[in-house]
Amino acid sequence: MKELSAKLILLLIDIIAIVLSITISYQLRVLFDDSFVSTFGHNLSLYLSFPLLYIATLSTLAYEGIYTKRYDFWHESRQIIKALILSFILVLAFLAMTKSIENYSRATIVFIFMSMTLLIPFFKIIIKKLLYHIGLWQRAASVYSNDPFVTKEIFSNHYLGYIKANKEEAKTVFIN
């Protein structure tokens, strides 16, 4: 139950990061309106209510294993960037194929994905460490290795969330 709660919280945080990215990107586009050839006449609700931004982003994050696997921060950040590039391409392809690209500012879409590239990993590092300290992001693990460095790295990285367990209680086993 704790693991499911942690995953739901991480999913919710990603949704918040998407909403915040949309809001920041919209404000950036408005701020730099004079720098663009065409004037910006859209409103924020157009982007906040665009379901493909959420669906594509969360689906590609799930496809990359962000909600099911435990990666260290840098590996997970690479997976997040891969997922965001794919979802960016999907969103632009959808807009082009439906001929609705003119309804949205391409600069705003670019700003949204650039913001998500920064905000999603930033929020994850904070939330995973917080969840670890309150006990929701902890998984019992055993390490079978002659290398003390491996054991130290696995159990000292709170982003991964592994704690030492009795051999019978381990949900995850590492063999080196």
**DSSP reduced 3-state for 98:** coil
Q: Is the pLDDT assigned to residue 5 strictly greater than 90?
A: yes
Are residues 67 and 105 both part of a single domain?
Answer: yes
Kindly state whether residues 18 and 92 are assigned to the same domain.
Answer: yes
pLDDT reading at 33 higher than 90: no
CA 6 to the chain's CA centroid: 14
Confidence band of 105 (pLDDT split at 50, 70, 90): confident
Q: Are residues 120 and 42 in the same domain?
A: yes
Are 24 and 47 found together in one domain? yes
- Judge whether residue 48 has pLDDT over 90: yes
pLDDT (mean) for 7-25: 97
31 and 107 inside one domain: yes
The domain total for the chain is 2
Residues 50 and 11 in one domain: yes
Q: What is the pLDDT of residues 140-158, one digit of tens each?
A: 998 888 888 888 998 999 9
What are phi and psi for residue 140, nearest 5 degrees? -70, 130
Name the percent of the chain lying above pLDDT 70. Answer: 95
**pLDDT band at 38; cut points 50, 70, 90:** low
> Does residue 121 surpass a pLDDT of 90?
yes
Residue 37 confidence (pLDDT): 63
The whole domain housing 159 covers: 139-175
Instruction: Determine if the pTM surpasses 0.85.
Output: yes
Residue 64 contacts residue 82 (beta carbons within 8 Å) = yes
127 shares its domain with 170: no
**β 172-175/139-144 pair status:** parallel
Q: Which two tokens stand for residue 92?
A: 């632009």
Query: Can you tell me the mean pLDDT for 13-29?
Result: 95
- Per-residue pLDDT band for 171 (boundaries 50, 70, 90) equals confident
Average pLDDT of the chain to the nearest whole number: 91
150 and 97 in a common domain: no
Q: Are residues 49 and 114 in the same domain?
A: yes
Count of positions (residues) in the chain:
176
* Confidence check: pLDDT of 40 > 80: no
In this structure, the answer to whether residues 97 and 124 fall within a common structural domain is yes
Longest dimension (CA), the chain: 65
pLDDT at residue 63 in the model? 97
